[in-house]
Structure 1
Amino acid sequence: MASGSKKNISIALLVADTPPEPVVAAYGDYEKIYKNFLQQSANTVKRHRWQESLDLRIRPFDVVHKQEYPDEGQLSDGLWDAIMITGSASSAHADVPWSNKLVQFVAKIAEEHPLVRIIGICYGHQIVGRAFGAEVKLNPRGWEVGVYDAQMTEEGKELLNWEPEESSCLRLQQVHRDEVIELPPDFNGEEFINLASTARTPIQGIALRYPTECPPIPSVVNTSAYLAFDISDSGISSSGPLPARSLHVLTTQGHPEFNREIVELIMSVKTEMGAITGNLLEEGLQNAQKEHDGLRMGAIFLAMLGYERAKDEGGHSF
């Protein structure tokens, strides 16, 4: 492959909220936050010099006020490799028209455009859960704010490429009170997988495999409905794809796109509202300072879309 070639990845960012004003003033809206997060994640992905560099194309869609979505023609032509649903201060279990429409759109993508990957973060995680038939509720155990040690399942460690000698915890910034209370039912014969658990939120992320390890992405086959899952694209090294390449759906309850300052600004706003006070505020401020796996999770999202770390001859990532 010639040096300087590009791997194009296109993500439709379904924006479900605007961050609080102090966050916007410091870091921008969700379009800017997610673009920066994914680009910073891409910068951590070490590649061979002969491998393609990344051309990451992210377009926001306002699903709240404008209720805009990628149109059917764009999807059918393979323009979008993935949809990514952002976080939101809204409740994912609320019976409101715009969120119900979002649930219906995600379900339609899964059924009619099976090669389009589905990624959900926090509120997006909960919306994806609803779209596949799981129940979302207010968590009776209360808020999670800041970084928590989420104990990963064995399948979670495999899919997220955790090495056996590493800690079995997934650590992401959190700001949520709602939760997915059960795994969705099987979809097209495949079972949903719980990635990790905390004491307050047993389902910290869900994943759904394709029936093959390395299906193509829409921009490679130029259609989002291509169903012959026995080919791979040219971006895979000879040592084979990471486990994330097998995923149709991947969500996290935590916020890999948030850093400590963003969480602290959100807590400040919620404290003024009376939502986060006392011991919870103290806990959240302490937790927010902990190290987290945000960029590592972002790299997994990119690996899901075919852009991953180079490997040596033994199949180990650099």
Structure 2
Amino acid sequence: MKPPLRIAMLECDTPLLKTRGKYGGYGGVFKALFEAGADALNMPDVISSKKGMEITTWDVVNSELYPKLENVDVVLLTGSKSNAFDNDPWILKLVDFVKDVLAQDRIRIIGVCFGHQILGRAMGVKVDRGSGWEISVCEINLSAKGKELFKKDKLNLYQMHRDIVYGCPSDVEELGWSPTCSNQGMYVKGKVMTVQGHPEFTNPIETEIMEARHGQGIFDDATFEDGMKRVGSHHDGVAVAQAFIRFLLED
């Protein structure tokens, strides 16, 4: 795939107040990530924060708006507080749209957290509650393909989930695992790339969510305090963004 890459960001949730004030929607959060990843690749003649990407955002929850497939090269599904296994009308519409993307061979699709789970559901894999919450910066063990794509032996990413994708289709390569989640990412060359973690999150974004969920009683004191101990740790979000962009550029 050659730039300019026409990237459609499907916003599956609305950020909390501080994050929304800085970035707008989650499309803005991902735009910042992709720009950082493009610059880190150091290929200014091909792609950078100033060149090679045309990003649009689509509210698939409230407006249920989608791009026409002929107008995009890449579809990205963001995270969400919703459950990917629920049958809300907007979720069913999203799953159907993803199935349409998977049925063709030109457009590539990226899924992050909830987006990763929606991809799993669209490919016929079980998505359901896992053994518990995985939050803050966590270490991910990488498969051989994961090490190749991310160019790292292990990955540290922000997490914010308790649902997981159980297993993987036979024609899909798994990218990694953790003690809490056996499927941390999926890959099909020239077609699909997903991660369960949140490469787009930053310390302030993760902290705002953890504080809100602790205040709502979703996280007990022990879970919240454990997460806050690691929220400032190094994370590899830009490395994942680089891998996403290399995936989009590969033949």
Q: TM-score, normalised by structure 1?
A: 0.74
Structure 2 counterpart of 1:55, from 47, 52, 55: 52
Match of 1:94 among 86, 106, 109: 86
CA contact (8 A) 2:143 2:174 kept: yes
Give, in whole Å, the separation in 2 of the partners of 1:90 and 1:200. 19
Q: Please point out which of 235, 239, 250 is paired with 1:296.
A: 239
Structure 1: unaligned runs, 5 residues or longer:
1-5, 163-167, 210-246, 308-318
Q: Which protein has the bigger strand share?
A: 2
Cα distance, 1:248 vs. partner?
Answer: 1.1
- Structure 1 equivalent of residue 198 of structure 2: 255
1:50 and 1:99, CA in 2 relative to 1: closer, same or farther beyond 3 A? closer
Secondary structure, in 3 states, of the residue corresponding to 1:267? Answer: helix
Does the aligned pair in 1 maintain the 2:46–2:52 contact within 8 Å?
no
Residues 23, 266 of structure 1: 8 Å contact kept: no
Cα gap change, 1:248 to 1:51, in 2 (>3 Å): closer
Are residues 109 and 52 of structure 1, via their aligned partners in 2, closer, same or farther at CA, if it must alter by over 3 Å? closer
Distance 1:155 1:34 in 2: 24
Structure 2 partner of 1:85: 77
Percent identity between matched residues is 34
Shift of 1:9: 1.1
Aligned-partner SS, 2:213: helix
AA of the residue aligned to 2:178: T
Decide which structure has the larger Cα Rg and report it. Answer: 1
1:205 paired to 2:166: no
Asked whether the equivalents of residues 38 and 47 of structure 2 are also in contact (C-alpha less than 8 Å), the reply is no
Higher alpha-carbon deviation: 21-30 or 274-283:
21-30
User: In the alignment, residue 134 of structure 1 is paired with which amino acid?
Assistant: V
Which residue number in structure 2 is paired with residue 22 of structure 1? 18
Q: TM-score, normalization: structure 2?
A: 0.93
**CA contact under 8 A between 1:145 and 1:287: conserved in structure 2?**
no
Q: Would the alpha carbon gap of residues 116 and 272 (structure 1) be closer, same or farther in structure 2, given more than 3 Å must change?
A: same
Query: Could you tell me which amino acid in structure 2 is paired with residue 108 of structure 1?
Result: D
CA distance change for structure 1 residues 26 and 12 in 2, over 3 Å: closer, same or farther?
Answer: closer
- Aligned residue for 1:129, secondary structure, equals helix
Correspondence list, 1:109-128, <5 A:
109-111=101-103, 113-128=104-119
Which residue of 133, 136, 139 maps to 1:146? 136
Amino acid at match of 2:4: N
Alpha-carbon distance between aligned partners in 2 of 1:193 and 1:33, rounded to the nearest angstrom: 27
Q: Secondary structure at the match of 1:175?
A: strand
Greater shift in the superposed pair: 62-71 or 119-128 = 62-71
Aligned AA (1:106)? V
Q: Distance in 2 between matches of 1:52 and 1:45?
A: 8
Matched residue, 1:132: 123
Q: Distance in 2 between matches of 1:50 and 1:67?
A: 36
Cα deviations across residues 277-310 of structure 1 (Å, max 9, x unaligned)? 2111011111211101101101111111218xxx
Give the number of aligned pairs: 248
The amino acid that maps onto 1:24 is: R
Equivalent residue for 1:103, pick from 95, 104, 107: 95
Instruction: Provide the C-alpha distance between the structure 1 equivalents of 2:151 and 2:74, rounded to a whole number of angstroms.
Output: 20
Distance 2:9 2:25 in 1: 12
| Cα separation, partners in 2 of 1:114 and 1:284, compared to 1, 3 Å | same
Q: Which residue of 2 aligns with 1:39?
A: 35
Cα-Cα RMSD: 1.8
More helix by share: 2
The alpha-carbon distance between structure 1 residues 155 and 51, as it changes in their structure 2 partners (threshold 3 A), is closer
Q: How does 1:119-268 map to 2 (within 5 A)?
A: 119-139=110-130, 141-162=131-152, 168-184=153-169, 186=170, 191-209=171-189, 247-268=190-211
Q: CA deviation at 1:161?
A: 3.1
| Secondary structure in 2 matching 1:103 | helix
Structure 2 residue corresponding to 1:283, chosen from 226, 231, 239: 226
**CA apart distance, 1:103:** 0.7
CA separation of 1:60 and 1:27: change in aligned 2, threshold 3 A: closer
Structure 2's unaligned 5+ residue stretches are none
